[in-house]
Structure 1
Amino acid sequence: GSFKPEPGLFLHAAAGLGVAPARCAVVEDSLPGVQAGLTAGMQVFTLLPRQQAPLALQDRAIFIRELAELERYF
């Protein structure tokens, strides 16, 4: 099996849908999930507070406070 922060689950889902990872979006609420999505090459939206993410990830994910905010991106 493949467990977060390994990207295998996300890559498997993208392959099953026939969609390139770069055209996928991930919504995550955990740091391992954010790491997995980024490693998979996907756009990551996270409900994590920005201060809980390592500095190296803060510019790579989009931080949201609630799922309704996703509307502005799609």
Structure 2
Amino acid sequence: MDLKEVMKSRRKTLSISQLDLAEMAEVSLATVKDIERGKGNPSLATVNKIIEVLGMEIIFQVRQTV
């Protein structure tokens, strides 16, 4: 799953509207809509605000090579 799918799925699981998510994350409604449509290019700070509201976190790890 990519960001748009994870974000939309989690938002729906929590029964949060796009407008509610935007207000709680202190981002614009257009930003939320663009991300969920795969059209946005949000900064990491914006993504972090949104996933905080959704009760998620970003984990960075070094890729394993075979």
**TM-score, length of structure 1 as denominator length:** 0.31
Q: Which has the higher strand share?
A: 1
Asked which structure has the greater RCO (Cα within 8 Å, sep 6+), the reply is 2
Q: Which has the higher helix share?
A: 2
Greater C-alpha Rg: 2
